[in-house]
Amino acid sequence: MSNFDSDVFSLPTEADTHNHDYHQLVVVLDGNTDFDIKGNSRQLHFGEGCIVPSAEGHAFAGLGKNRIMVVNLPVPPQKAITDEEYEIVSRLFDQAAYFELNPRLQILASALSGELEQYPEDSILARACGNTLLSAIRHQINNKDSRIRGNNLDIDKLDQFIELNLSKKVHISQLANFCFLSVSQFHERFKDHTGMTPHQYLVRKRLDRAQSLLKKGYPPIQVAEMCGFSSQSAMTNVFSQTLGITPLKYQKKYRGH
């Protein structure tokens, strides 16, 4: 892409090496990827990314299932961005670097990527999403806030992230990464804070959303998918074990309430 733009896609598992005449920002949304910029290699996980200045040779490969968001900034700037804006944003690309998004920006990246995937042909939206993410990351890096220590769990921000991703399979390691904690540290602190394990909490969140959607009249098979259950039967099992009622009977009893 030569225009100031952004996109969401998956990297192939076969390694590729190239360079281009535009700056590029990469953020990992799901899965893991390998990146190498001028011999400085790093395995990037959810919430991590890299800054690739124009003409800087780099290699990359996806490690299994993955999704990334890229933002391209042309050199020189296109009409979609003023000289003043370009001067400010382009300083981010003075040198190649790896970074970790803080929890707030992880939520932002997830939300923006969702909009891009919903409206893939909207070039105005693509530019706006790219500009937003670039500007926000620039502030984080300038504030030297690229590593947040997870001494205290921010359940409100964690809830926002869970709500954004509830229709997908959410791994506990993703939540731990979100809080910049190891899985064992996250599990311990989460249980101390909430009184339940992360898995129990996720199931409760899925169940709460499912109840709400069933009351609105959505068919159970669609509700199961929207709430991230592996199947309709898996959702039925959770309902029966937790509420003592099947989703279909729950819907007949509470629809419209």
Contact 69, 94 (CB under 8 A): no
Cβ-count burial 21-54 (b if 16+ within 10 Å, e if not): ebbbbbbbbbbbbbbbbeeeeeebbbbbbbbbbb
Kindly state the average pLDDT of the residues 227-255. Answer: 93
* Domain coordinates in residue numbering, the chain: 5-142, 155-254
Contact 30, 100 (CB under 8 A): no
Q: What is the pTM of this model?
A: 0.58
CA–CA distance, 175 with 198 (Å, rounded to integer)? 9
- Summarize pLDDT for 87-114 with one digit per residue, the tens: 787 888 888 888 888 888 989 999 999 9
Average pLDDT, the chain: 85
**CA distances to 20, 21, 75, 76, 219 from 1, in Å:** 10, 10, 12, 14, 41
| Assigned superfamily of 5-142 | Regulatory protein AraC (2.60.120.280)
- Summarize pLDDT for 16-71 with one digit per residue, the tens: 887 788 899 999 999 889 888 877 888 898 889 999 998 788 988 888 888 899 99
**CA distances to 67, 109, 251 from 149, in Å:** 25, 20, 43
Architecture (CATH level 2) of domain 155-254: Orthogonal Bundle (1.10)
Kindly state the average pLDDT of the residues 154-161. Answer: 84
What's residue 150's pLDDT? 42
What's residue 91's pLDDT? 82
- Summarize pLDDT for 193-211 with one digit per residue, the tens: 889 999 999 999 999 999 9
Q: Does position 256 have pLDDT exceeding 80, yes or no? A: no
